[in-house]
A and B are shown apart, each in its own frame.
Chain A
Amino acid sequence: DVKVTQSSRYLVKRTGEKVFLECVQDMDHENMFWYRQDPGLGLRLIYFSYDVKMKEKGDIPEGYSVSREKKERFSLILESASTNQTSMYLCAEQGPGGYTFGSGTRLTVV
């Protein structure tokens, strides 16, 4: 089975901090994604990467950037964290059978 590992389950950061969320997949799949999930809004795509160093903006990229230096690792960066970025962040990779998600990182910005 595919495994997607997110480095932190819970994070608390201060407003203005730079925040790194890490995601690692154990298959050799090209496509990886970062979503945020909020009550009533569902899953919203932040960024997508289809290969090393390749990325595309999703529906809500403002305030975020990403990095993919190795195929297995996809990082989400909050350049200057704000309280409206408090959310559940989900990483996913795409294989032949669809998306596999990580367990999520619940980020609170205070």
Chain B
Amino acid sequence: QKEVEQDPGPLSVPEGAIVSLNCTYSNSAFQYFMWYRQYSRKGPELLMYTYSSGNKEDGRFTAQVDKSSKYISLFIRDSQPSDSATYLCAMTESGTYKYIFGTGTRLKVLA
């Protein structure tokens, strides 16, 4: 079993839809949780960075962490064609450099 599981998609939604992207993990020591967006042929860019449990909102994006269920989510409201990309979750323990990445979910937002 992988430490971090992420559905590869592709996930296709119409413009304006609410998108939910998810990751599950097995290591209860993970404390920091990140979401990266990666456009085709580009490097990943950091979208959201959260510590421990709870929600964090930034514009149309909301990151949610449920440590009791070992489950994290990224919600995108009013999705746009420009949101079409691969979304990677990442997580790490406190005091370590190493991030564990999910394999990414490919999202397509249809105009």
Contact = CB atoms under 8 A, between A and B. Distances in A.
Contacts of A9: 41
User: Interface size for chain B: under 10, 10 to 19, 20 to 34, or 35 or more residues?
Assistant: 20 to 34
Given A40-B8, A43-B88, A98 B49 contact: yes
Interface stretch (B9-17, B58-66, B74-82, B101-109): B101-109
Interface in A25-50: 31, 40-43, 45, 48, 50
B97 A42 contact: no
Given A48-B98, A97-B49, A98-B49, A40 B103 contact: yes
Contacts of B72: none
A101 B97 contact: no
Nearest to A104: B43
Determine the main DSSP class of A at the interface with B: strand
B21 interface: no
A27 B98 CA distance: 20
A88 to B, nearest CB: 8
Instruction: Select the residue from A48, A98, A103, A104 with max chain B CB neighbours within 10 A.
Output: A98
Residue from B8, B34, B97 having most chain A Cβ neighbours under 10 A: B97
Nearest to B4: A42
B45 interface: yes
Interface of A: 4, 6, 9, 31, 40-43, 45, 48, 50, 90, 92, 94, 97-104, 106
